[in-house]
Amino acid sequence: MKQVLKMSNSEPKLITAPHVVKEELMAAGTWVKLEKTTYVDPAGNTRTWETVKRTTRQTTTEVDGVGIIALLKRTLHKDCVVMVKQFRPPLGCYTLEFPAGLIDEGETAEAAALRELKEETGYKGEIAGVTPVTCLDPGLSNCTTQIVLININGDEVENIHPTQQLGEGEFVEVVLLPLDEFQMKVDDLLKKEKILVDAKVYIFAMGMVQAFFKPRELPVLKQ
């Protein structure tokens, strides 16, 4: 099923670089707005799309927020991925996600990630890497995120008993999952309780499993 409303019924014209012609507000909330996007498709036809945008993106950036893959490293412990569990009103249930948050005015992705990690989990980390800007649901919204990789030295005093700095109305439970059995532990959690996992979390797990997949374990291809 495709979101395509064709406006002009003319035959395809010369191939053109597709582009947005105009964006009209359909509805605006405090945090989210809905726009009608008029664009020219690669065949030269003018069409419309319904686009969701956050109202909170800073003017200085193309990215709404950050997701944080934080690895907690402690002496005599397995390396763990620091996850958060919280009630999400849009889904009406608890979710299992990487820590994440929106970028504040003038903030870099790295600074936002260190701040959000500290607020949501109490851990103080060190930046290990940051991805390019990535999109989250490109058929629906213009929402973008940068994934920030953070290492946490769990032997440091402030990381031994980390203290969350949650805002009013925020409730976040920290969940540590061992890196070397990540997918299995996610699956275990899903079996135990009604919780929805974020696609990014599950796909990170699948990437790790894929890397260790032995081609010879594949079912023989049918001819």
Distance, CA of 87 to CA of 92 (rounded, Å): 7
Regarding 142 and contact with a copy of itself (CB under 8 A), the answer is yes
Regarding 135 and contact with a copy of itself (CB under 8 A), the answer is yes
In sequence order, the 6+-apart residues with CB closer than 8 A to the CB of 79 are 71, 72, 73, 178, 179, 180
Distance, CA of 70 to CA of 82 (rounded, Å): 6
Quickly list H helices, 58-181: 109-121, 157-160
Regarding 83 and contact with a copy of itself (CB under 8 A), the answer is no
Regarding 203 and contact with a copy of itself (CB under 8 A), the answer is yes
Regarding 124 and contact with a copy of itself (CB under 8 A), the answer is no
Regarding 2 and contact with a copy of itself (CB under 8 A), the answer is yes
In the complex, the smallest distance separating the C-beta of residue 198 from a copy of itself, rounded to whole angstroms, is 6
Burial of 54 (0-12, 13-18, 19+ CB in 10 A): middle
In the complex, the smallest distance separating the C-beta of residue 121 from a copy of itself, rounded to whole angstroms, is 15
User: Total residues at the site for a copy of itself (CB under 8 A)?
Assistant: 100
E strands, 74-135, where?
80-88, 93-97, 100-102, 126-130, 134-135
Q: Which of 61, 85, 95, 108 is in the footprint of a copy of itself by CB under 8 A?
A: 95
Q: Which of 114, 144, 162, 175 is in the footprint of a copy of itself by CB under 8 A?
A: 144
Secondary structure letter of residue 194 according to DSSP = -
Regarding 212 and contact with a copy of itself (CB under 8 A), the answer is yes
In the complex, the smallest distance separating the C-beta of residue 129 from a copy of itself, rounded to whole angstroms, is 9
Lay out the site mask for a copy of itself across 14-53 (x = CB under 8 A, - = otherwise): ----xxx-----xx-xxxx-x-xx-x-xxx-x-x-xxxxx
